[in-house]
Structure 1
Amino acid sequence: MAGGARFLWWIVVAAAVLLADCAADDSAERPDTALSSTFVVLRYTSFMLDSSETASHYFDAIAKFEEMNPDIRIEVDHIQNINYTAGLKMRLLGGEQMDVFDVWSPSLFEEIRRLDDHVYLDLSKEDFLNDFLPASLEPVTKVGHVYGVPGLMHTDGFLYNKTMFQKLGLSIPRTWAEFIRLCEKLKDQGIIPIALNSEWWVPQFLFGSLMSNAGADETWTAMLEQGKVRADHPMIIEAMSMTKEIIDRGFVPEGWEQLKYEQSRDLIGNGRAAMIVTGTWDLSELNANNSGQEIDFMMVPGVERTVPNLNIGSYKVISANSAHPEEAKRFLAYMNGQEMQEKLANQVMAVPSVSGALLHDPIVRRIFELVTGEEAMIYWPHIVSTESLQLEIIDALNEYLRGADLVRELAKIQLAIDRAGNREAQPKT
């Protein structure tokens, strides 16, 4: 099945699954309607509210908000990551109640905005916007109007077993050539250099970092989508080839195509692997689950330069159709405000997007310096204009990593870009 067709098929299947899930979830999560007249009920839709250790901190924050605001109750509406884009579209296009919801990237923010130019509530006049770092608001600012607020900031690349590195006398590589030599040393020691796995979203954190290192900023990406740069540009070819190099050189687990993400994380904890492709959002959980090993973060080194990548974990937005916009603003300001961001940042080892935050963990302070530095940029796939186009590019990358022809996959990327450009040129009805 071709990449584009497979993507559309996935959306249809995800929609069917969501319809079944929502019928079951809504009955369990909605408060008693007999009591709802005594307080306002806000529906909060997110991909982050699962059963993980990190999610428990968000549930605690919600409980604290309800305690401080007895006139408001939060109805949690969790959608799994793999179904999230389709789930948001179903709710919005189907006219379901939507109050506050998360979008995980500028491209998803734009994907949803293109459903309707007025889908988000304008927050431009809210005083709490002054608390945020100006750069963190840029992705949710359109024609001078701000439509969301950022949450915690991360960076992506490799998490590595620092205890193992120290034991073996290994240093953090500064260039791609040094990185390849490091992987060779690990492989010679019988250690898997990189715990790559089969999850479709994993390779983008390596590929995207390499694109950023090579100079793929917003201006270059706009040229790509406008047809001024083609998908067979040397920058894309090099980034895809370097990503596949770790597979071709045997730096990944045998049978990585069947390995699940949780299994690859176990390889780090039990000392069988040295690194895993992911982001700093996994730091706290990996350290908590592997008390005998210290896990740290390193950037993906480039050929000539290494660019810190900024990955804002989510932006909270308010539906323009919310029946309770003022209460929704209170919830949004609390959940992403300075006090809560400082607390969550030190719990989950992330960086607040608010000004003047106090950071206690030395790793968090180091990440803060990286993502707020002058060279930092939003990592590459997230500045592709829409989530759909981003997914088609990642799909082609994944096919190539599994053995498909590079020229064919580049042609698929170009076709996806051309289709996206044609859709954008069509007038809205």
Structure 2
Amino acid sequence: MKNIKMKSSFVLALTLLLTVVLSACGNSSDSSADGKVTISFLHWRGEDTQAFQKIIDQFEAKNPNIKVDMQTLTSDQYQSTAQAKLTDGSVGDVFASFPGAQYAALSKAGLYTDLTNESFLKNYNADLIDVGAKDGKQWAVPYQLVYNQPIYNTEIFKKYNLTPPTDWDGFLKLCATLKQNGIIPIAFAGADIGPGQLMNTMVMNNEPSEDIFTKVEAGQAKLTDEFWVKTLTQFKELNDNGYFQDNSLGTKDAAAGALFIQGKAAMLASGSYQLAQNAKQNPELKQALLAPITVSADQAKYEGVHTSTFMLGVNSRSKHQAEAKKFLEFLSQPDVASQYANETGQNVTLKDITYDSPELKIAGDWADKKTIFQPRFTILNSENQKAVTNSIQSVLGGATPEQAAQDAQAIVDQQIK
């Protein structure tokens, strides 16, 4: 009996010990045995991990009781799986989100912590972070500032005495001159990012109001209205005139970028986020930004498109919100944000930022221009967003603008029901 009792006591002690060990290891954002708190930082920009790791090292040196575990997904994975990962609170104490449909979904799920009274908000340009506000409260702070408009090769433009046009007729003439001289006017990634990027500048002056897509989703306007049919018609005009490269619908982002980087195309339908990567691949490349103006010069309301994105928030399910806010506060210091910007080639939404690279200065020159927040990201339903971009692909594939708009509206009608 004595041996049985001793064995039972040993088993019980071993079980308790294993329970303690497993509970200490079970959650990536729990406190560790040495008293350190580990928080998870979840985002999709794998290309920024080296820059972020330097910043994390600096943060941990100043905050020795906090460890930051950075995890990244691809942008596609992030949009499809982030919400599920964030819901149980074990991942993403600090997390990034896209504006528009993803921010709306995460907000509806109650995954953001209120940041309204945090002192670090004063470091941001208030006009650039309002996309992360709702119901009078600040839930997320967009960290990156992107201009979603074509990049152009300034040396090619100079060679043919071309300047960025101020109206649609001028843009068509510009494209015609380039084509006549054997240059692809616009490298267009029709297979992936192209429709979603170029649509922003194509629609910005055609839409009757900044909230037109909000009205479409509410059933108060339709994609069969003049503003979208006209936009699709102008896409068709560019395509029919051969101003995109051959097989543009089969061209992916990297292939379109290569045409531009190699000097075969004069414009690239992407955005300022691509400037640094282009320069890295071709240091001799001279670049600038322009936006197609789809109306007459006197009717143009906007010169270009901006997006406040990479929206940083603190997970409402986090067990370590104080530590998560401390890390977000560190990221929100102007010197840290300047370091991030210059190492990644991304403009940021904070005030008092020092930009060192030519590419960041190119985008920075647009700060004083009249730009509109990216229209595509005002579409909050992901199915509706796909319907809109798919209608562009349909037109490039041969559908009439009217039919493509009608097909897209049918999907919106289903979502409304």
Is the 1:150–1:353 contact (alpha carbons within 8 Å) kept by the matching residues of 2? Answer: yes
> How far did residue 91 of structure 1 move?
1.4
The range that moved more, 174-183 or 277-286, is 174-183
C-alpha separation in 2, matches of 1:75 and 1:203: 35
Task: Give TM-score, length-normalised by structure 1.
Answer: 0.82
Q: How does 1:346-425 map to 2 (within 5 A)?
A: 346-360=342-356, 364-365=360-361, 367-368=363-364, 370-371=366-367, 373=369, 375-422=370-417
> How far did residue 371 of structure 1 move?
4.0
C-alpha separation in 2, matches of 1:257 and 1:90: 32
Highest CA radius of gyration, 1 or 2?
2
Equivalent position of 1:155 in the other structure:
147
Equivalent position of 2:284 in the other structure:
292
Letter in 2 for 1:288: K
SS at match of 1:341: helix
Equivalent position of 1:77 in the other structure:
71
> How far did residue 96 of structure 1 move?
4.5
1:243 counterpart = 2:235: yes
Equivalent position of 1:27 in the other structure:
none
> How far did residue 363 of structure 1 move?
5.8
C-alpha separation in 2, matches of 1:198 and 1:66: 43
SS at match of 1:45: strand
> How far did residue 366 of structure 1 move?
5.6
Q: How does 1:15-414 map to 2 (within 5 A)?
A: 37-48=34-45, 50=46, 52=47, 54-93=48-87, 96-114=90-108, 116=109, 118-304=110-296, 305=300, 306-360=302-356, 364-365=360-361, 367-368=363-364, 370-371=366-367, 373=369, 375-414=370-409
Letter in 1 for 2:347: V
SS at match of 2:151: strand
> How far did residue 76 of structure 1 move?
2.0
Letter in 1 for 2:295: V
> How far did residue 67 of structure 1 move?
2.9
Alpha-carbon RMSD: 2.5
Uncovered stretches (5+) of structure 2, i.e. residues with no partner: 1-26
Post-superposition Cα deviations, 1:224-254, rounded to whole Å, max 9, x if no partner, equal 2222211111100111221232221111222
C-alpha separation in 1, matches of 2:225 and 2:303: 20
Uncovered stretches (5+) of structure 1, i.e. residues with no partner: 1-29, 423-429
C-alpha separation in 2, matches of 1:357 and 1:245: 41
Post-superposition Cα deviations, 1:373-406, rounded to whole Å, max 9, x if no partner, equal 5x32211111122344323322332233223343
Distance 1:351 1:245, change over 3 A: same
C-alpha separation in 1, matches of 2:271 and 2:165: 17
Is the 1:281–1:348 contact (alpha carbons within 8 Å) kept by the matching residues of 2? Answer: no
SS at match of 1:303: coil
Distance 1:36 1:157, change over 3 A: farther
> How far did residue 69 of structure 1 move?
2.3
Distance 1:142 1:327, change over 3 A: same
Is the 2:185–2:243 contact (alpha carbons within 8 Å) kept by the matching residues of 1? Answer: yes
SS at match of 1:278: coil
Equivalent position of 1:6 in the other structure:
none
Task: Give TM-score, length-normalised by structure 2.
Answer: 0.85
